[in-house]
Amino acid sequence: MMTYSRSIPLALLALFGTGLAQTVDGSKFDKPDGGPPGSYFAAGSSIPVAALQSAAAKASTPVPDATYPINGDKGAKKVTIHSDWTKFDQGAAYVWIADMDVDCDGIDYKCKGNPDGQHQTNFGALAAYEVPFFVIPDRFGTKYAKQLPGNNVGAVICNGKMFYGIYGDSDGDTPQVIGEASWLMARTCFPNDDLNGNSGHGDVDVTYILFTGDDSVLPSSALNKNYVTNFTTLRSMGDKLMTALAKNLKLVDGGDGGSPTTTAGSNPTSGSCEWEGHCAGASCKDENDCSGHLVCKSGKCASD
């Protein structure tokens, strides 16, 4: 029987199996300062983050009911959700640039600085400490519910990094505002700012990308009503959708809008490899780019 040293953090013991958060017991991470590390839901190194951020800044096609203030103050800056990228067969997405306030609705509604939190989120009662989710205005979510059925995978770009999350809640305040994310997402983006329910990131410099359609919905095998249970699935879907989007925008080689690029010798479907495009033989910069038990050796994913 395997034994564990008392020095191993309890959060690590929440992992079942080896490797990069294949399956997790979300309740073990449901703590203000003990949530999943950003590496669990960070984009792979093959994603052209800077180019996507630049392309997002050039988006200009609005849709009805797409403009909202970033807060409820009189004269607050308004942000528009753009539809330039929604016509693609694969990797279709809405995009906008906003600030990032903290949403703690769900089972962590009593988070610091959040006196008026709600017990529920739109599609369950998510844990803001464990789930990287973001929020859209309720009017927009209702109007475009066919494209956004809920729990759609998306991403934020903050501080030059990209993190994947899900559309997990909506804002129904008066006025409805834009630019909110869960405690986990906000504090991962801005770890030195002590963000909380009453103190957000006020600069309008965060890019939000929200994928559309049923194929972008995180499945129940990776998410229950409270927690993300498989971060590998979240990252795999995020990388696949983001690579398709980048190809459509001609930001990377190829044009089929399909799976992430693999290198010669990789075998995305063999063995226990769960993260397509990040299996043995795939290019990598560090272990966060490799599936499961694989590590990064000399720029290639390989067994330890």
246 contacts 51 by C-beta, under 8 angstroms: yes
Residue 287 domain-assigned (yes or no): yes
- Tens digits of residue pLDDT in 279-300: 788 887 765 667 666 778 888 8
Give residue 291's domain range.
262-304
Whole-angstrom distance, CA of residue 272 vs CA of residue 216:
23
Tell me: do 297 and 187 sit in the same domain. no
Give the amino acid at 123.
F
Tell me: do 181 and 237 sit in the same domain. yes
Tell me: do 253 and 269 sit in the same domain. no
Residue 284 domain-assigned (yes or no): yes
Tell me: do 194 and 292 sit in the same domain. no
Query: Which CB contacts under 8 angstroms, 24+ apart, belong to 280-285?
Result: 283/46, 284/45, 285/45
Domain count, the chain: 2
Residue 110 domain-assigned (yes or no): yes
Tell me: do 252 and 286 sit in the same domain. no
- Tens digits of residue pLDDT in 236-274: 999 999 999 999 999 987 654 443 333 333 333 334 565
Give the percent of the chain with pLDDT over 90: 74
Residue 268 domain-assigned (yes or no): yes
Tell me: do 86 and 228 sit in the same domain. yes
Tell me: do 280 and 205 sit in the same domain. no
Residue 9 domain-assigned (yes or no): no
Phi and psi at residue 294, in whole multiples of 5°?
A: -70, 150
The mean pLDDT value for 49-78 works out to 96
Residue 209 domain-assigned (yes or no): yes
pTM of the model: 0.81
- Tens digits of residue pLDDT in 107-117: 999 999 988 78
Tell me: do 45 and 104 sit in the same domain. yes
- Tens digits of residue pLDDT in 125-148: 999 999 999 999 999 999 999 999
Q: Which of 32, 51, 21 is nearest to 248 (CA)?
A: 51
Tell me: do 72 and 36 sit in the same domain. yes
Tell me: do 245 and 282 sit in the same domain. no
pLDDT the model gives residue 281: 86
Tell me: do 113 and 134 sit in the same domain. yes
Tell me: do 299 and 228 sit in the same domain. no
Residue 13 domain-assigned (yes or no): no
Whole-angstrom distance, CA of residue 294 vs CA of residue 19:
7
